[in-house]
Chains A and B, each alone.
Chain A
Amino acid sequence: DQQVKQNSPSLRVQEGRISILNCDYTNSMFDYFLWYKKYPAEGPTFLISISSIKDKNEDGRFTVFLNKSAKHLSLHIVPSQPGDSAVYFCAASPRYAGGTSYGKLTFGQGTILTVHP
């Protein structure tokens, strides 16, 4: 039962353009969402997060959008740079105590982003 899905295994974008990475979830108890970037041989690096009380959060070149009714979130990177080439994971967790999901992040399978000149 994959509760967090990233349906695009890979994405190729030209430098300077917008990168849009998508993520869908099924568990309605999730209300905190995060994006991580991972380079080979390194651990995931936290990029940006959003709580379910918001529908948008920005941090520099990174913006996360949350559509609760569609159970969908997306990460926009503008402008994309070659150094953004990495695997991007979305993750979700519930806010309140209770249930087997409490305290843990549930990850998608990742999307490989390649930013080319």
Chain B
Amino acid sequence: EAGVTQSPTHLIKTRGQQATLRCSPISGHTSVYWYQQALGLGLQFLLWYDEGEERNRGNFPPRFSGRQFPNYSSELNVNALELEDSALYLCASSVGVYSNQPQHFGDGTRLSIL
């Protein structure tokens, strides 16, 4: 069974640009989550999508946004990039949140802002 896949592995941008990160969940999983792990900080919840709808978002500005497609894959968009957006962005998927099922993570996209 293929795990959660994320692309690209690395992304280098400059301040003010926009970044798009992509995630394909495990087959059969309908929920996709995005987390940020900045240097020296723990994993911080960004966004949760389920069945194409945004269900919850963390304490991040509106320039962090995303969407989930009919095939349950997801994009995370970060507009007007700032230096502090440099981080590892992790995507996770689960079968849903209406029963206790673990979230399974991809290997992340390393976003570097110059």
Which residues of A are interface residues toward B (Cβ below 8 A)?
32, 34, 36, 41-46, 49, 51, 89, 93, 95, 100, 102-110
Interface segment, B63-71, B73-81, B100-108? B100-108
8 contacts between A and B (CB under 8 A): A34-B102, A43-B4, A43-B107, A49-B100, A49-B102, A89-B42, A104-B45, A109-B42
Which residues of A are found within 8 Å of B106, using beta-carbon distances?
A: 43
B76-100: contact bitstring with A at CB < 8 Å (1 yes, 0 no)? 0000000000000010100001001
Q: How many residues of B contact A (CB 8 A)?
A: 23
Does B43 lie within 8 Å of A107, measured CB to CB? Answer: yes
Contact of B56 among A36, A103, A110 (CB under 8 A): A103
Known: A44-B90, A51-B100, A104-B48. 7 other contacts (CB 8 A): A89-B42, A93-B97, A102-B55, A103-B31, A103-B33, A105-B103, A106-B45
**With A and B bound together, what is the CA distance between A27 and B107 in angstroms?**
29
Report Cα–Cα, A4/B97, bound state, in Å: 20
Complex Cα spacing A9 to B103, Å: 24
Question: A34 contacts which chain B residues (CB < 8 A)?
Answer: 102-103
| Inter-subunit contact B107/A103 (CB<8 Å) | no
**Residues in A whose Cβ lies below 8 Å from that of B108:** 43
Contacts of B92 in A (CB 8 A): 43, 105
How far, in whole Å, are A41 and B90 apart by their CA atoms in the complex? 11
B105, A44: Cβ atoms under 8 Å? Answer: yes
A2 to B5 Cα, complex, angstroms: 29
Contact yes or no, B100 A95, CB < 8 A: yes
User: Chain A residues near B56 (CB, 8 Å)?
Assistant: 100, 102-104
Interfacial residues of chain B within 1-54, with CB under 8 A of chain A in the complex: 4, 31, 33, 35, 42-43, 45, 48, 50
Asked whether A103 lies within 8 Å of B105 as measured between CB atoms, the reply is no
